[in-house]
Amino acid sequence: MSERTILVWFRNDLRIHDNEILLEAVRKADKVLPVYCFDPFYFRENPSGNPKTGNLRARFLLESVADLRKNLRNIGGELIVRIGNPAEILLQLAEQYHVNEVYHHREVAHEETEISEQVETALWKIKLNLKHFIGHTLYHKEDLPFPIKDIPDSFAVFKKKVERDSNVRPCIGTPEKISIPLIGDAGELPTLAELGLEEPVGDPRSVNAFRGGETAALSQLDLFFLNEGQANTNKNTRNTTDHSSQLSPWVALGCVSLRHVYWEAISHQHSSSLILDLLWRDYFRFMFKKHGQKFIAAKNNEAEVSALADNQDELFESWKNGETGVPLVDAIIHQLNATGYINNTNRQIAASFLVNDLKVDWVKGAAYFEEKLIDYSPASNWGNWAFIAGVNDARESRYAIAAKPAIQLETKSEFIDTWLPALHIVE
Ligand SMILES: Cc1cc2nc3c(=O)[nH]c(=O)nc-3n(C[C@H](O)[C@H](O)[C@H](O)COP(=O)(O)OP(=O)(O)OC[C@H]3O[C@@H](n4cnc5c(N)ncnc54)[C@H](O)[C@@H]3O)c2cc1C
């Protein structure tokens, strides 16, 4: 009997722990072919003429893919890396390596699902199945107490029902060994220049250090609980002032699974705020699943459009350069531009200022965050912006925080930085 080969298509699940597509492939196949594609779609220009993926996020992605390759090699595997359209690349690799099936994790946002549909169509031409797995949410879709179409639009109701009637599944194991076919050319990772991007310039005011990859993600998680524990026993210990984990860049690329974060939080008896925030992430993803693009459909009735400023382009330029003249907003944007990261409250303030004070179309701001944020995640970014812009009816009280008058947005600093514990990564 001939060997069975399964191609594992990595996308936003760049880890070997709690990764169902990898473990399932290892169990079901004689040989596993792990693949990552740098898709030029994500590196083209957005409508404002800026890169869809900025250089800080691209660098974080490159580090994450390199770390995945290293972790796969540690268990006897390899990661094939290619630059190009996944539909063409996966088809070509499937033929070359006599692949029997292709596994991937299902996405929810429009662009991501379109890409998987193209892959599915391409593979189907050679009668190959693209098998979809659910792996990006804390709660498994099948375990929700309601079908997708009946998911409550209110976060408060969603939270109450999910917490009462559903459970988070345990994490699944990490494969100890992986068998791969004989690979001729695994491919090199591209450089930033090959992706059309410039090297980021370090900002001396920034103490934040985000390094991509599963290894760094797991270190960050450990450090977070360590610091939280010390902060509880020793009030002098430095910690993030808002007790946020700053895990989002790794979560966005799946370098750490939400379930792993959840079960670690439970085992450290660190419950409420972190788990609540993980639920926010699930909520936005499920809203996209339920409503599709309608969840972020811009209002385009006459009254809304005429409420926008006439000199939008000029105002948007001043906002994105941190030159609005409102100190806190400018400091927040300086931090975003220099580091690719700002905390949740500051995102709300910057977004609300653009939409409510400057009266600029929120879509411009969301696209700018897409370029700049190293934790960019379609459902979280566009969903949060849509809330602030009020383009859907699901308004939540937490968003009132953003609606401060500009006069209150004072700061003495021209740059804001939140403290991140130094990462010690063993190569
Ligand atoms: C305008 C705007 C745009 C945003 N864009 C993104 C984005 O592109 N990607 C992104 O991951 N988050 C986004 N957020 C949500 C939030 O700001 C970040 O997830 C948060 O700052 C991450 O910090 P943390 O890891 O310390 O969070 P923690 O408080 O430690 O929370 C743990 C995890 O929960 C998730 N989470 C927390 N808050 C939210 C939230 N409000 N919505 C969705 N998920 C949440 C994140 O994955 C986070 O890592 C946005 C918020 C706003 C207001």
The pLDDT of residue 383 is above 70: yes
Identify which of 381, 384, 396, 417 to mutate to test ligand 1's pocket (most ligand atoms within 8 A of the CB). Answer: 384
Identify which of 158, 344, 348 to mutate to test ligand 1's pocket (most ligand atoms within 8 A of the CB). Answer: 344
Report which of 203, 234, 249 is spatially closest to residue 380, judged by C-alpha positions: 249
Residue 103, beta-bridge partner list: 8, 131
In a domain, 259, yes or no: no
Contact present, 79 and 70 (Cβ < 8 Å): no
Ligand 1 atom nearest 402 alpha carbon: 53
Classify the C-alpha dihedral 171-172-173-179 as positive or negative: negative
What average pLDDT score do residues 24-32 get?
A: 98
Q: Is 345 in the pocket of ligand 1 (CB under 6 A)?
A: no
Q: Is 257 in the pocket of ligand 1 (CB under 6 A)?
A: no
**What pLDDT does 238 receive?**
38
Q: Is 373 in the pocket of ligand 1 (CB under 6 A)?
A: yes
Tell me, what CATH number does 331's domain have? Answer: 1.10.579.10
| pLDDT tens digits for range 357-374 | 999 999 999 999 999 999
Residues spanned by the domain of 40:
5-135
Report which of 360, 365, 358, 404 is spatially closest to residue 384, judged by C-alpha positions: 365
What is the chain's mean pLDDT, rounded? 88
Identify which of 159, 225, 277 to mutate to test ligand 1's pocket (most ligand atoms within 8 A of the CB). Answer: 277
**What pLDDT does 420 receive?**
38
| pLDDT tens digits for range 163-208 | 999 999 999 999 999 999 999 999 999 999 999 999 998 776 665 5
Domain boundary among 79, 110, 135: 135
Ligand 1 atom nearest 278 alpha carbon: 34
| pTM for this predicted structure | 0.92
Q: Is 286 in the pocket of ligand 1 (CB under 6 A)?
A: no
In a domain, 333, yes or no: yes
In a domain, 19, yes or no: yes
pLDDT band for position 273 (cuts 50, 70, 90): confident
User: What are the structure tokens assigned to 150, written together?
Assistant: 């009946």
Ligand 1 centroid to residue 384 C-alpha, Å: 9
- Per 3-state DSSP, the chain is made up of helix, strand and coil in percentages (nearest 5) of 50, 5, 45
Report which of 82, 90, 97 is spatially closest to residue 31, judged by C-alpha positions: 97
Domain count, the chain: 2
Q: Whose CA is nearest to atom 4 of ligand 1?
A: 381
Which has the minimum average pLDDT: 43-52, 122-131, 311-320?
A: 43-52
pLDDT band for position 404 (cuts 50, 70, 90): low
Ligand 1 centroid to residue 117 C-alpha, Å: 28
**What pLDDT does 421 receive?**
35
Q: Is 314 helix (H, G, I), strand (E, B) or coil?
A: helix
Largest CA distance in the chain: 74
| pLDDT tens digits for range 221-269 | 999 988 887 766 654 443 455 678 899 999 999 999 999 999 999 998 8
Ligand 1 centroid to residue 50 C-alpha, Å: 23
Ligand 1 centroid to residue 67 C-alpha, Å: 23
Domain boundary among 135, 158, 176: 135
In a domain, 169, yes or no: no
Domain boundary among 81, 115, 135: 135
Identify which of 253, 370, 380 to mutate to test ligand 1's pocket (most ligand atoms within 8 A of the CB). Answer: 380
Q: Is 384 in the pocket of ligand 1 (CB under 6 A)?
A: yes
pLDDT band for position 397 (cuts 50, 70, 90): very low
In a domain, 319, yes or no: yes
Residue 301 vs residue 427, higher pLDDT: 301
Q: Residue 278: CA atoms inside 13 Å, Cβ hemisphere, count?
A: 26
The pLDDT of residue 306 is above 80: no
How far apart, in Å, do the first and last CA atoms of the chain sit?
A: 41
Ligand 1 centroid to residue 273 C-alpha, Å: 12
